[in-house]
Each structure stands twice: as structure tokens, then as C-alpha cells.
């Protein structure tokens, strides 16, 4: 941090001013002139929170994707199918047992098993052959999409939010002061906050596991040099299977999350594959903090875009991707 | 070897018998939105279609109707692709298509390239389809989105006392037409529409849209359908929304009122207008409801038919009755059928329907209010029945033409 400020004083100044402006926008009561120019503060705060919580969902999908890529250098384009499959499993479990929590556990396990099968039956046979892997996973994603359409049909499924999560809570953020002097606090859906908190917990746990445990050390060593790691006697194939299972399971969990605060239907698989591709390209392929940063940026861009420039909202995401590719092609937080 | 030759003979005899007993068939292509946001609507449309066949039968004199179904996803190109496939591959002679607004405009334009065939609109309701440059071989037996809103604006203003409202709608032709009808009447009565929000068809995350809803209005009008409506209601419930609501014709409809979960309860008391009302006591309507209920087991249908089922029923009914009038005669580019279709008046479940000179339905409209039947099922209850609603909504055609075509900003909120 200090080194960054020493090296780029101008950029650091701009960053500090930007952070100060954002903090002021979030905590201050907006003067009437500002409200007239860009709308009410409630709308802005909601869009920001929605962007961050949507980013939590994107992070869950993209972190598995980036983890698999980081270790095995394999671009799994069937990752979106794993997301949708996890969602359907979660739906089936939650309607069958009525338990929302259980649907996460089962979705994680089942989709992780699918990941293990994929790694053993497909990727192991074509290690290091990028193009072949890419083509095969595209093919698999098409097959999976049609199989799921066959079983679940074209209908929309929504996983029931448990009763204790329905409804809004009051956040300690002021949106306005009524003429009577009574402060108005922000109301926000509880379920989105819980899901965001869960994705932060998962993200931190993953970061700790990668940086503070032996397994994490092996994985990191594998990212840097697989061959040397194998030569030191580590059973690298087992590590591959574990990482693949974890990445796939995360996609499965994300499917349940997506089915709870959005909905599941054919076509969601490609939408989330695309989202996670954009997220990891912006954040940096193979980097977990990169996936987190990318997810929040894309989530914010989508939500703020849909409020302030609704007609062009879809373009904003891709503009960000183009900018990152032009200025920092390896991604914002990639090491190289 | 022996097996093979036996198989061949069996196949041969089957083919022979096929030609020997073949009745002359009339092939009809049907499309419905069986994919995407409006899947539920397409499925119920097909139930209405099936109910019509159960009641009326498939026989036209000594000929028999044969149907080929194709799926669309509410986008205009999917509808044209499906219709083209039905015509070119399946060789259908008559089309019962499409379901959704943008699809209707595209299929109407496509119909002009096949003037020899007959197109009967299944359920789509954009105004432009029959109002602007209509196709001579395209017939619509349901009213358009604006006709389906007649009565709502006045009821909201005069009886409910709403003075300022805002609208949220899907960004395409049918909802433009619905908002058009609403705004004309509500602003004509003296009300104000302060804000019109448009969301893309198939929006998943409504959280920011919900946050941007104004809170200084008396009611919020929702012009959403299918999965969008369900997504919206769920997130509206999560956000703790409590405004008075008003609904469009596919929002206050069994497709939404029978959805799973408790989010739909926000709709109790909502006022709406549509080409039907679930609890109408008219014997023709009750008979249709019974036919619909008898055709499917309770788990595979809604408690009461949706607007889409009613529209598909009416369109199928018009087609079969007209075909019977001409005894299935499709010679001379189906001229006799087209003539019969233009003149026919049908006793549809939702009131008498006849066509105007643009081959657009003139029919009955209903203002409704959502009620709970006491067992947790929601229905739309009749508040007012308005007969003889035409496409210019009772305006002088010259005045109506000056208002402009429905769009994001048309009509302006004023008295025309």
C-alpha cells in the first residue's frame, strides 16, 4: 500500500478522493440539488447494495471456474451447466424435504461428484491439450443443456426462500430526513444480505485454505509448476480431482443461490458461463481475489447501469471487459 | 433374413392400408411460447386449444383436422422461424399463431409473403398487428392490449380515488399497447402517470427496479407476465413492498395467481382489466371453465383457465366453425374460408366476438379485482363488464390516429 502511494502519488490521490466521494454518497444526507440531478438516495443505495450482493453470486460461480483454471490450465466451458444442474438439484431437494439448508449440501455433493467424473473421464485423458479440452467442454455443455431441458422442461423454477429470510430489514443507513425531523433508514431484503455474507465467508475460507494450509500450499505450488510438484512425490492427480470437485461444488451452491433470489430455466447456464468468463477476465485468470474484485465490479456495473442508463445497461459490462483487456490484458489482480 | 422379409411385408401393408383408408386431412400449424419467460402462458394456451378440440371435435364434413405444434420463445424471430418451418417442412395450410405481441407483428408481416394461406392469431395482443397495414389473410379473434385495459383507468380514478400512478412494464409491443390503453383512459379522467419504467423481457434481478419505484404515488401499475411477474413479486415481497397495485391482463391472470409460494398474496385487492374474469357468472363462461377443468387433471392445469387458454379456445373455435361453414373447401387460395372467417361471429366463452374491417376483434372487456377464495387460491372477480369494445376504444378514428402508436412514451398523459 505504502509502496503504491510512493510509486504512483497521482493515482493514489485520485483513488483516495474517489473513496471519499463514495463514502460521502453512502453516509451523508443528500442535498436537494443532488437528488434532483441523479435521483433519490434510496435508489442509489439500493443499486449499490444490489450490485454487491449480485457480485456475491457471481463470485461463487467464478471462483470455482478460476480455481480450476489456475491449477489445471483448463478452461471448463461446461461450468455454466454445473451451475444450472446444481440449481435444479437444489430445487428438487427443497421441494421434497422443505429444507433450504439441506438443498445447499446436497447440491454441493452431487455437483462435486459430477466434477470428479468429468475430471476422471474427460480432462485426465487430454491433459495439456487446451483446444481439445475447450471443444469437448463446449460439446458437453450442449449435451447437458439438452438433457436438463428433457428432464426439467422449459419452465421456470424458483427455490422457496425459507420463511425466516422473507422480508426486509432496516439498515443503519440514512436515506432521508422527513420534514418532521424523523430519520428514514434504508430497508433492504434480508435474504440478499445473508447470501452475500455466505459468499464472503466462503471466499475468506477459500483464501485461508489456499494460503494457510498444507493442501493450499500444494495447490499453489501446482499453479506455479506442476511438473516439479509431481516430481517431489505429490500425488498430483488426486489434487486435480479434489480441486475440480471443489470448483464444481461451488458452482452447484451458486445454482441454489441463483434459484433462490432469481430463478432457474434453460439458458441460465450460458448466462452464468458468460458472467463468470467476464468476471475472471476482468479480475485475472486463476486469481481468487481477482474473481472477488471482478464479481463486485460486474455486479455493480449491471445494477447501477440498470438504474441510471437502462437502455445501455448490457453494454456496460462488456465495455469494462474491453477496457481491461486493452489496458491490463492479464486482468486487474493477476500476478505475472 | 426371414425376420427381415416379414418386417418388410408388414411395413408394406401398413403403408397400403394407410393410403386406402386415408381421409383427406386439413393440416393446421399451431405455435405457442413453450420456451423462455412465457412458458407457462404457452402451456396454458395449448390447454385452451385442447379443450376446444374436445368440445368441437376435429371433423370438418368428411375431412379431418391434423395439427402440428411448434415452440417459440416470445421473440419475433423465433415465431417467424417456427411458422416458416410449419409451412415449408410440415406443409400446413392454415396457421394458428402466435401467442405474444412482438411475435404477432412479425407473423403478420410474414403472412403477407404467403397470401394463399390463412393465418389466425392465437393470442397475441399488440395494437400494431392489425391496426397498421394489416395483412388481408391475418384474422384476430382476441382484442388487443389497449382494448383489454378499457374500464380500468376510470375505475381507478373514480371508484378507487387514485390520482397519481406509475407504471412498470416489459419493454415490448404488447405492454406498450396495454399502457397505451391505461394512460389514455386514466389521464382522460384527470389522473396523472408520473413515471413509466421499462424492463427487458426476461429480467431476473428486479431489486434495483423495485428500489426505483416512486413512493409518492397512489398506485403502481404492473405490466409484467410469466416468469418476470413471478420474479418481480418474489423480490417485491423480499423488499417488503406495500404500495397499492394495479395489474395488466397477463399480470392478473391464473398464470400468476396460481404460481407457487406466498409472493402472489401481494396481489389480493389489486384492480385489473382483461378480456375475461375468472368468476364471471355467464353460463357460456361457466361451461368453458368446466370443459377446461374436465380436459385435464387438477395437477396439470390451473384452477380456472388463463387469458391465454381463453384466447386459444376462441381462435380455435372460430377456425373450426368457419371451416365447417365452407365444408372444408380450401380451393382457390382458401378464398371461401377467408370470407367466412371475416364474417363469422362467435359465441366465445368471454362474450360475443366479431371482426372489424381490419379483421380485428370487437368484444367484451372486464374490470376485475383479485380476491382470495378463502382456501388460499386467488381469482379475479368481476367488477364491471363492458361490451362492444373496438380497436379505437370508442374514439373517432381520426382522433385516435393522431394519438400515435403505442411506445415507451406514447401516449402523452393528457385528454385527447
The predicted-structure confidence for B344-356, as pLDDT tens digits, reads as follows: 999 999 999 999 9
Please say whether the dihedral angle defined by the alpha carbons of residues A292, A297, A300 and A302, taken in this order, is positive or negative: negative
Would you state the pLDDT for residue B125?
A: 95
Q: Show residues of chain B in contact with A150, CB under 8 Å.
A: none
Whether A275 maps to a domain, the answer reads yes
Distance to chain B for A223, nearest Cα, Å: 36
CA distance A183 to chain B (A): 16
Domain for residue A19, yes or no? no
pLDDT attached to residue A73:
80
Q: Cβ contact (<8 Å) for A262 and B261?
A: no
Does the pLDDT of residue A123 top 60, yes or no? yes
- The residue among B140, B134, B82 whose CA lies nearest residue B109 is B134
In a domain, A211, yes or no: yes
Residue B207 to residue A43, Cβ atoms within 8 A: no
Q: Strands B361-372 and B378-389, how do they pair?
A: antiparallel
Mean pLDDT of A139-167: 86
How confident is the model over A7-27, as a mean pLDDT? 85
The SS3 call for residue B97 is coil
Rounded to an integer, what distance in angstroms lies between the CA atom of residue A79 and that of residue A69? Answer: 11
Nearest CB to B231 within list A46, A166, A263:
A263
What pLDDT, on a 0 to 100 scale, did the predictor assign at position B22? Answer: 56
What CATH number is given to the structural domain containing A300?
Answer: 1.10.3470
CB < 8 Å to A43, chain B: 208, 211-212
Whether B101 has its CB under 8 Å from any CB of chain A: the answer is no
Percent of residues, chain A, with pLDDT higher than 70: 99
Q: Taking 50 as the threshold, does the pLDDT of residue A142 lie above it?
A: yes
A203 HSE (CA, 13 A, CB side): 26
Is B299 near chain A, with CB under 8 Å? no
Residue with cell 383436422: B65
pLDDT at A227: 85
CB B275 within 8 A of CB B249: yes
Cα distance from B238 to chain A (closest Cα, Å)?
4
State pLDDT tens for residues A192-203: 899 899 999 999
Q: Do B34 and A306 touch (CB under 8 A)?
A: no
Task: Say if residue A19 is exposed, middle or buried (CB neighbours under 10 Å; 0-12, 13-18, 19+).
Answer: exposed
Cβ pairs A/B, distance under 8 A: 93
Structural domain including A195 reads: 42-327
Q: For residue A336, name the pLDDT band (cuts at 50, 70, 90).
A: low
A184 lies within 8 A of chain B by CB: no
Question: Element (H or E) spanning B274, and its range?
Answer: strand B271-274
Grid cell for residue A331: 486482468
pLDDT at A335: 66
Residue A50 lies in a domain: yes
Residue B19 has a pLDDT of 46
Strand B118-121 to strand B138-140: parallel, antiparallel, or no bridges (unpaired)?
parallel
- The DSSP element (H or E) to which B27 belongs, if any, is strand B25-32
Q: What is the pLDDT of residues B15-59, one digit of tens each?
A: 444 444 557 899 999 999 988 888 889 999 999 999 999 999 999
Asked if B262's CB is within 8 angstroms of A166's CB, the reply is: yes
Is A227 within a domain?
A: yes
- The mean predicted confidence, pLDDT, of chain B is 91
The answer to whether B238 contacts A54, with C-beta atoms less than 8 Å apart, is no
The number of beta carbons lying within 10 Å of the beta carbon of residue B340 is 18
CA distance A277 to A137: 14
Is the minimum CB–CB distance between B407 and chain A shorter than 8 Å?
no
Distance from CA of A78 to the nearest CA of B (A): 21
- Helix-, strand-, coil-residue percentages of chain A, each rounded to 5: 75, 5, 20
Nearest residue to B252 via CA among B329, B182, B317:
B182
Residues of B in contact with A190 (CB under 8 A): 238
Query: B149-179, pLDDT tens digit by residue?
Result: 999 999 999 999 999 999 999 999 999 999 9
Whose CA is closest to B138, among B126, B130, B147, B146?
Answer: B130
Contact flag A265-B36 (C-beta cutoff 8 Å): yes
Residues A111, A146: Cα–Cα separation, whole Å:
17
Which candidate from B35, B207, B238 shows the least CB-CB separation from A266?
A: B35
More confident residue, A261 or B61: B61
CA dist B176 → B26, B199, B389, B409 (Å): 36, 12, 19, 9
Give which of A154, A166, A303, A307 to mutate to test B binding, by max B Cβ within 10 Å: A154
Interface test with A, best of B45, B196, B212, B243 (most A CBs within 10 A): B212
At residue A92, does pLDDT exceed 90?
Answer: yes
Q: What is the pLDDT of residue B275?
A: 96
How, if at all, do strands B219-223 and B245-247 pair? parallel
Contact of A98 with chain B, judged by CB distance below 8 Å, is answered with no
Is the pLDDT confidence value at B2 over 50?
Answer: no
Whether B231 and B260 have beta carbons less than 8 Å apart is answered as: no
Residues in chain A: 336
CB contact A189 to B (< 8 Å): yes
Is position A322 within any domain?
yes
Phi, psi torsion values for B120, nearest 5 degrees: -115, 120
Cross-chain residue pair B204–A155, CB shorter than 8 Å: no
Please tell me the distance from the alpha carbon of residue B209 to that of residue B202, in angstroms, as a whole number: 14
Least confident of A166-170, A320-324, B286-290, B313-317: A166-170
Q: Is A332 a domain residue?
A: no
Give the mutation candidate from A40, A50, A269 for the B interface (greatest B CB count, under 10 A). Answer: A50
A13: in domain: no
Q: Which chain A residues are within 8 Å of B212, Cβ to Cβ?
A: 39, 43, 46-47, 307
- Is any Cβ of chain A less than 8 angstroms from the Cβ of B198? yes
Chain A residues in contact with B35 (beta carbon < 8 A): 154, 266
Write down the ipTM of this complex.
Answer: 0.77
Tens digit of pLDDT for each residue in A218-237?
888 887 888 888 899 888 88
Q: Which residue has the cell 402440428?
A: B68
- Per-residue confidence (pLDDT) for residue A149, from 0 to 100: 85
The residues near B189 (Cβ < 8 Å, ≥ 6 apart) are B153, B154, B157, B158
Residues of B in contact with A54 (CB under 8 A): 205
* Percent of residues in chain B assigned helix, strand, coil, to nearest 5: 40, 20, 35
Sorting pLDDT into bands at 50, 70 and 90, what band is A322?
very high
Biggest distance spanned by C-alpha atoms of chain A:
74
Angstroms from A239 CA to nearest CA on chain B? 37
Cell numbers 437528488 label which residue?
Answer: A35
Whether A134 has its CB under 8 Å from any CB of chain B: the answer is no
CA A268 to CA B231: how far, in whole Å?
Answer: 14
Encode A300-310: b = buried (16+ Cβ within 10 Å), e = exposed: bbbbbbbbbeb
Is B262's CB within 8 Å of A168's CB? no
Question: Does the beta-carbon distance from A156 to B205 stay under 8 Å?
Answer: no
Residue range A146-175: mean pLDDT, rounded: 84
Whether A19 shows a pLDDT value over 50: the answer reads: yes
**Is residue B207 very low, low, confident or very high in pLDDT (cuts 50, 70, 90)?**
confident
**Number of domains chain A is built from:** 1
User: Does residue B206 contact residue B175 with C-beta atoms inside 8 Å?
Assistant: no
User: pLDDT digit string (tens) for B284-340?
Assistant: 999 999 999 999 999 889 999 999 999 999 999 999 999 999 999 999 999 999 999
**pLDDT score recorded for residue A7:** 80
Q: Which residues of B touch A98 (CB under 8 A)?
A: none
pLDDT digits (tens, 9 = 90+) for B209-261: 888 888 889 999 999 998 889 889 988 888 888 889 999 999 999 999 988 77
Q: What is the pTM of this model?
A: 0.84
B35·A154 Cβ contact <8 A: yes
Predicted pLDDT of residue A38:
76
Give Rg (Cα) of chain B: 22
Q: Is the dihedral of CA B37, B42, B47, B48 positive or negative?
A: positive
Answer whether A72's CB lies under 8 Å from A249's CB. no
Amino acid at each position: 500500500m505504502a509502496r503504491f502511494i510512493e510509486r504512483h502519488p497521482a493515482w493514489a490521490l485520485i483513488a483516495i478522493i474517489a473513496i471519499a466521494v463514495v463514502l460521502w454518497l453512502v453516509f451523508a444526507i443528500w442535498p436537494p440539488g443532488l437528488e434532483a440531478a441523479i435521483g433519490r438516495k434510496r435508489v442509489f443505495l439500493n443499486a449499490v447494495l444490489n450490485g454487491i450482493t449480485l457480485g456475491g453470486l457471481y463470485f461463487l460461480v467464478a471462483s470455482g471456474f478460476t480455481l480450476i483454471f489456475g491449477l489445471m490450465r483448463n478452461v471448463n466451458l461446461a461450468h455454466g451447466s454445473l451451475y444450472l444442474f446444481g440449481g435444479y438439484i437444489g430445487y428438487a431437494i427443497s421441494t421434497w424435504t422443505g429444507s433450504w439448508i439441506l438443498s445447499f449440501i446436497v447440491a454441493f455433493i452431487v455437483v462435486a461428484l459430477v466434477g470428479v467424473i468429468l475430471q476422471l473421464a474427460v480432462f485426465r485423458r487430454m491433459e495439456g491439450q487446451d483446444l481439445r479440452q475447450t471443444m469437448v467442454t463446449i460439446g458437453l455443455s450442449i449435451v447437458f443443456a439438452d438433457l436438463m431441458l428433457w428432464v426439467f422442461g422449459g419452465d421456470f423454477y424458483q427455490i422457496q426462500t425459507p420463511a425466516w429470510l422473507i422480508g426486509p430489514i432496516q439498515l443503519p443507513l440514512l436515506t432521508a430526513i422527513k420534514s418532521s425531523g424523523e430519520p428514514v433508514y434504508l430497508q433492504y431484503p434480508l435474504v440478499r444480505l445473508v447470501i452475500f455474507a455466505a459468499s464472503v465467508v466462503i471466499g475468506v475460507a477459500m483464501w485461508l485454505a489456499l494460503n494457510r494450509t498444507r493442501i493450499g500450499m500444494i495447490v499453489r505450488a501446482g499453479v506455479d509448476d506442476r511438473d516439479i510438484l509431481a516430481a517431489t512425490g505429490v500425488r498430483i492427480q488426486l489434487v486435480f480431482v479434489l480441486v475440480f470437485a471443489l470448483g464444481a461444488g461451488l458452482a452447484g451452491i451458486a445454482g441454489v443461490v441463483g434459484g433462490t433470489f432469481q430463478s432457474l430455466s434453460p439458458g441460465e447456464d450460458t448466462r452464468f458461463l458468460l458472467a463468470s468468463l467476464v468476471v475472471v477476465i476482468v479480475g485475472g485468470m486463476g486469481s481468487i481475489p481477482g474473481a472477488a474484485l471482478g464479481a463486485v465490479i460486474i455486479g455493480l456495473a449491471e445494477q447501477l447501469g440498470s438504474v441510471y442508463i437502462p437502455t445501455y445497461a448490457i453494454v456496460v459490462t462488456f465495455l469494462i471487459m474491453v477496457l481491461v483487456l486493452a489496458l491490463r490484458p492479464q486482468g486487474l489482480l493477476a500476478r505475472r | 433374413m426371414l425376420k427381415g422379409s416379414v418386417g418388410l411385408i408388414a411395413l408394406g401393408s401398413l403403408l397400403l392400408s394407410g393410403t386406402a383408408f386415408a381421409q383427406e386431412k386439413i393440416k393446421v400449424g399451431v405455435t405457442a411460447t413453450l420456451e423462455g419467460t412465457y412458458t407457462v402462458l404457452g402451456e396454458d394456451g395449448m390447454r385452451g386449444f385442447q379443450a376446444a378440440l374436445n368440445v368441437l371435435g376435429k371433423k370438418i364434413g368428411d375431412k379431418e383436422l391434423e395439427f402440428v405444434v411448434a415452440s417459440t420463445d416470445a421473440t419475433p424471430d423465433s415465431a417467424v422461424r417456427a411458422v416458416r418451418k410449419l409451412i415449408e417442412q410440415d406443409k400446413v395450410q392454415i396457421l394458428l399463431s402466435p401467442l405474444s405481441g412482438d411475435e404477432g407483428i412479425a407473423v403478420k408481416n410474414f403472412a403477407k409473403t404467403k397470401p394463399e394461406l390463412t393465418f389466425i392469431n392465437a393470442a397475441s395482443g399488440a395494437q400494431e398487428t392489425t391496426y397498421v397495414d394489416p395483412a388481408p389473410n391475418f384474422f384476430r379473434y382476441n382484442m388487443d392490449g389497449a382494448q383489454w385495459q378499457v374500464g380500468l383507468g376510470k375505475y381507478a380514478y373514480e371508484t378507487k380515488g387514485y390520482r397519481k400512478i406509475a407504471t412498470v412494464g416489459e419493454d415490448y409491443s404488447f405492454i406498450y399497447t396495454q399502457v397505451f390503453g391505461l394512460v389514455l383512459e386514466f389521464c382522460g379522467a384527470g389522473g396523472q402517470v408520473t413515471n413509466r419504467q421499462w424492463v427487458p423481457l426476461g429480467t431476473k434481478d428486479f431489486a434495483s427496479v423495485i428500489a426505483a419505484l416512486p413512493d409518492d404515488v397512489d398506485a403502481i401499475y404492473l405490466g409484467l407476465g410469466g416468469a418476470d411477474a413471478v420474479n418481480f413479486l418474489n423480490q417485491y415481497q423480499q423488499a417488503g413492498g406495500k404500495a397499492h397495485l394495479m395489474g395488466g391482463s397477463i399480470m392478473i391472470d391464473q398464470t400468476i395467481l396460481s404460481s407457487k409460494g406466498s409472493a402472489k398474496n401481494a396481489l389480493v385487492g389489486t384492480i385489473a382489466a382483461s378480456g375475461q374474469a375468472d368468476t364471471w357468472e355467464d353460463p357460456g363462461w361457466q361451461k368453458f371453465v368446466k370443459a377446461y377443468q374436465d380436459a385435464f387433471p387438477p395437477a396439470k392445469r390451473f384452477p380456472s383457465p388463463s387469458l391465454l387458454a381463453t384466447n386459444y379456445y376462441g381462435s380455435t373455435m372460430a377456425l373450426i366453425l368457419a371451416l365447417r361453414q365452407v365444408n372444408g373447401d380450401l380451393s382457390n387460395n382458401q378464398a371461401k374460408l377467408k370470407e367466412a372467417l371475416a364474417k363469422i361471429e362467435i359465441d366465445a366463452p368471454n362474450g360475443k366476438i366479431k371482426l372489424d374491417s381490419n379483421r380485428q376483434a370487437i368484444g367484451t372487456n372486464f374490470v376485475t379485482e383479485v380476491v382470495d377464495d378463502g382456501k388460499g387460491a386467488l381469482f379475479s372477480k368481476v367488477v364491471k363488464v363492458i361490451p362492444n369494445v373496438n380497436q379505437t376504444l370508442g374514439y373517432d378514428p381520426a382522433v385516435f390516429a393522431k394519438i400515435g402508436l403505442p411506445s415507451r412514451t406514447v401516449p402523452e398523459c393528457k385528454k385527447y
